[in-house]
Amino acid sequence: MTWKASIDGHQCMASGMCAGIAPGLFVLDGPHARPLKEEIPEDEDALDAADSCPAMAILIRDGDTVVGPRP
């Protein structure tokens, strides 16, 4: 199974938290971070990155269900 990762460029403040927590999934690219791929493996690091984002800019979906950030 795969999840879909997205980062809202309007919210992202390029703190680098996501790339630090999950360097295989996210990268800083200019003024914003981005996922390395839209589809990512189900990975606890992806959820940790979404949970840790200070701007709450990361969204992880499993189909139509939002799985990250966690409540």
* pLDDT tens digits along 48-68: 999 999 999 999 999 999 999
Q: What is the pLDDT of residue 21?
A: 98
Tens digit of pLDDT for each residue in 13-48? 999 999 999 999 999 988 999 999 999 999 999 999
DSSP letter, residue 42: -
pTM: 0.93
In contact, 15 and 32? CB cutoff 8 Å: no
Contacts 24+ apart (CB under 8 A), 52-56: 52/17, 52/18, 52/21, 53/15, 53/17, 53/18, 54/13, 54/15, 54/17, 55/11, 55/12, 55/13, 55/15, 56/11
